[in-house]
Structure 1
Amino acid sequence: MNTLFCLLALAVIAQSAVLVDKQDKSAAARNNINIGGIYPGDRLLSRSYVYKPAVANTIQFENFVYREYRGDTRTRISAIYVTQQGYYKQCSSTWIRSGGLGYPDVTISFQSLRGYGYYYMIDIWGR
């Protein structure tokens, strides 16, 4: 009886592990930022990439800073798209630390889980 119970418990655990793995492959498991909108008259102010390879037992952190340097202080950000690139299981976080929509600058923070890296494409639109 104990052997049958153990086999049944292992089957349930194995099935749940497969279901979790299937969920990680979806686009919803990615940590992207999509705020604002692109409208007629907007232009791509910046397209940049941030990349940190995985390092064993290390949490990696980086701030990406965009400032409008063209001398036109009237330029304002209307959309920010931060899209995870590459392998789906990066396990990283991203958030806007300061600035953003309606400002001429933005600071975006990136942080990996211990032992993982990250790779993002950053598009900043404005007028």
Structure 2
Amino acid sequence: MAKSISAATLLGLVLCCALLSTVYAGNDYLWGEIGDNDYKLAKDTVSKAFFVGLVQTKKYVFKQSNDLNALTITAIKVTDKKSSNGATAVLVAGGPGSKGATIQFTSQRGYGIKDVVEIWGR
């Protein structure tokens, strides 16, 4: 004989799942919009090991070699590879609409940085 789940129990389970997904979600970012005609200009892993008690920072710079033939960035996607305690990313220069970009990563105290940066353009 099958047991039915009460509405209150189901609501509780949904709330727990929502809470866990926000607690363990990484710090993912998307600046701009990836279009159908866009090319992936770069895909790089940005990482820096943890050091007990310290906040780690790392600067990622994307620069195209030939300014005359450089493509315009349409989107930057940052995917946090840590399941918890991931680093934050701030786009400090360039980005969508420009030819280059600089992103500053900052870890939580006592944790490292491990993110994947994808840059799209046309």
Q: What TM-score comes out, normalization by structure 2 length?
A: 0.76
1:42 aligned residue: 38
Paired residues of 2:87 and 2:114 also in contact (CA < 8 A): no
- Higher helix proportion (structure 1 or 2): 1
How many residues align? The count is 105
Does 2:111 match 1:104? no
- 1:104 & 1:52 partners in 2: Cα distance? 26
Write out per-residue CA displacement over residues 74-126 of structure 1, whole angstroms, 9 at most, x where no aligned residue.
Answer: 510001000001x3112421110010110000000001121111200000000
1:32 aligned residue: 28
- 1:71 & 1:98 partners in 2: Cα distance? 17
* Identical amino acids, percent of aligned pairs: 29
Aligned-partner residue type, residue 32 of structure 2: G
Q: Give unpaired runs (5+ residues) of structure 1.
A: 1-17
Runs of 4+ in 1 over 4 A off after TM superposition: none
Comparing 53-62 and 75-84, the one that deviates more:
53-62
1:117 aligned residue: 112
1:40 CA drift (Å): 3.1
Q: What TM-score comes out, normalization by structure 1 length?
A: 0.73
Bigger Rg over Cα: 1
Q: Give unpaired runs (5+ residues) of structure 2.
A: 1-15
> Cα gap change, 1:117/1:74 in structure 2, threshold over 3 Å: closer, same or farther?
closer
